[in-house]
Amino acid sequence: MKKVTYLLPILFLLTGCWDQTMLNQTKLITAGGFDYTKDDKVIGTAAVPQAVAVEAGQSKVADLIFSSTGFTARQTRLRLDRKVTERLEASKNQVVVFGEKAAKKDIYHLLDVFYRDPKSALNAKLAVSKGRAADVISTKFEETKTSTGVGEYLRDSIISAEESATVPKENIQTICPLMFDPGQDFALPYLEPMGDKIKTVKVGGVALFNGHKMVGTIKEPLSVVYTMMTGESSTVFMSTTKKISNKKNQNVLNYATIKVQKNKRHFSVKVSPTGEISAQIKLKTKVVVTEYPPDKLSSPTEIEKLEKALSKRLSKDAQEVINRLQKMNSDPYGVGRKMIAFHYPTWKKLDWAKEYPKTKFTASIDVNIVDSGIIE
């Protein structure tokens, strides 16, 4: 007992490290951006909200944007820290934006710092911005004037795009294994800042990657077809508007809007005895017609006609997506992964990066209308 009375205070007082980090003595980063200067230095930009307590219980958040340069991402962060009072913390980071040029170089070099810090926010969204990331983060967007800061604004914009299936759902954690997978790539949201007077950001589509590098974009609305083919069975509002005829004199009558209820993907990769590789994605889609200006959807023949037109149109789009992916040499659907899994000897002999664009890759979408809205 006597020993314990001596040991207890020693245990508490003499252990050197104390990992206390006080919330009110830190500065939180809510959005981070990376660019490169012309001489290959990293420019790090961070949005740090300053909570200004206006009155008891009511506070206003004002974003302060800091940026600094350094040779690596970590160095820029350390230099940023020196520019602000208190300690910078990235544990509540909401979004990491790469400038298009930086993304085309290599994103892993910049992301490395996130994977090594146990406190970093792995669920932060990633995005590639048209132009410089610093510009996106430092823009005074219209919505940030009234609601919360830029980090939340960008994150919510991306989440809303994910819900409408414009972009696939990805974050820092989910892309990590894909970055190192030789058989599969990924795509990130592509942000386009818009407007002169009323400034907004638009999620304009997806930025495709090959390994660590960005290789191109697929813009909305084609990016919805891209997302459908990733195997995502449905999102909150997986929707797209397609032109299905040219015959009507009023342009608006040529279009139909569908909302996907459920996708079922059939994805196969085959190697013929002669060594020819062919991949095929077949998508069976149950859709709800949410808009069809010509109407008359009560008749089964009309529905069948529309189904056929949509299938034809969507299949064409799907093939277009595939062709573009092959041209960019980006493999987000994981044809290579299937090769590794099922045809390893063949795959081992190949230089996949060269072989993939030449692969016979086809896609088709079969539309089945299950509902046509509340009008009978």
Partner 1 sequence: MTFFKKPKKLKQIIASVQKEDKTETYNEVGESQIEQKQTIEDIVAQIKEPFASTEDLITQWIELPSDDSRVALLYIESIIDRKLIQDQILNPLFELSNEIGMDSLRKMGKLDLTKHTDMTMAQSLLLQSHTLVFTEDTACFYSVSTPVDTKRDITEPDNETILRGAHDGFIENLSINLALIRKRLKTPKLKVKYYRVGKETHTTIAVVYVDNIANPDYVNEVENRIKSIEADGIYAPGNLEESIEDRPFSFFPQMVSTERPDRVAANLMEGRIALVYDTSPTAHIMPVNFFTFYQSVDDYNNRWIIGSFFRLIRLFSFFIAIGLPAVYIATVSFHFEVIPFGLILLIKSSLEDIPYPPLFEAMLMELTIELIREASIRLPTRIGSTIAIVGGLVIGDAVVKAGLVSNLMIIIVAVTAIAAYIVPSNEMSAAVRILRFPFMIAAATMGFVGIVFGFMILLFHLCRLYTFGAPYFAPIAPLSLKDLKDSIIRAPFWVMNRRPQDLDAQKRSLDNQVRKWEKKS
| Residue 162 within binding range of partner 1, rule CB under 8 A | no
| Residue 56 within binding range of partner 1, rule CB under 8 A | yes
| Residue 154 within binding range of partner 1, rule CB under 8 A | no
Tell me 20's DSSP state.
Answer: -
Q: Which stretch binds partner 1 (CB under 8 A): 19-27, 232-240, 242-250, 254-262?
A: 19-27
| Residue 9 within binding range of partner 1, rule CB under 8 A | no
Q: Which stretch binds partner 1 (CB under 8 A): 21-29, 267-275, 307-315, 321-329?
A: 21-29
Strand pairing partners for 267? 281
| Residue 87 within binding range of partner 1, rule CB under 8 A | no
Q: Which stretch binds partner 1 (CB under 8 A): 54-62, 133-141, 241-249, 295-303?
A: 54-62
| Residue 176 within binding range of partner 1, rule CB under 8 A | no
| Residue 159 within binding range of partner 1, rule CB under 8 A | no
Binding-site residue total for partner 1 (CB under 8 A)?
Answer: 26
Chain residues 109-138 in contact with partner 1, contact rule CB under 8 A: 119, 121
Q: Which stretch binds partner 1 (CB under 8 A): 89-97, 102-110, 174-182, 192-200?
A: 89-97
CB of 22 to partner 1, least distance (A): 5
Q: Which stretch binds partner 1 (CB under 8 A): 17-25, 101-109, 271-279, 310-318?
A: 17-25
CB of 302 to partner 1, least distance (A): 47
- Spatial separation of the C-alpha atoms in residues 260 and 258, rounded to whole Å: 6
Which of 67, 94, 129, 240 lies at the binding interface for partner 1 (CB under 8 A)? 94
CB of 78 to partner 1, least distance (A): 20
Report CA torsion sign: 51, 52, 53, 59: negative
Chain residues 224-263 in contact with partner 1, contact rule CB under 8 A: none
Please state the φ and ψ torsions of residue 178, each to the nearest 5 degrees.
Answer: -70, -35
Which of 92, 101, 169, 284 lies at the binding interface for partner 1 (CB under 8 A)? 92
CB of 164 to partner 1, least distance (A): 22
Radius of gyration of the chain (CA): 25
User: Could you give the string, one character per residue 22-41, with x where binding to partner 1 holds by CB under 8 A and - elsewhere?
Assistant: xxx-x-x-x-----------
Q: Is the Cβ of residue 13 or residue 374 nearer to partner 1 in the bound state?
A: 13
Q: Is the Cβ of residue 18 or residue 354 nearer to partner 1 in the bound state?
A: 18
Q: Which residue has the tokens 């205070």?
A: 9
Closest CA to 284 of 165, 371, 224, 365: 365
Q: Is the Cβ of residue 50 or residue 257 nearer to partner 1 in the bound state?
A: 50
| Residue 17 within binding range of partner 1, rule CB under 8 A | no
| Residue 20 within binding range of partner 1, rule CB under 8 A | yes
Using CB atoms within 10 A of its CB, is residue 115 exposed (0-12), middle (13-18) or buried (19+)? middle
Amino acid at 304: E
| Binding residues vs partner 1 (CB under 8 A) | 12, 19-24, 26, 28, 30, 49, 51-53, 56-57, 59, 61, 91-92, 94, 119, 121, 148-149, 152
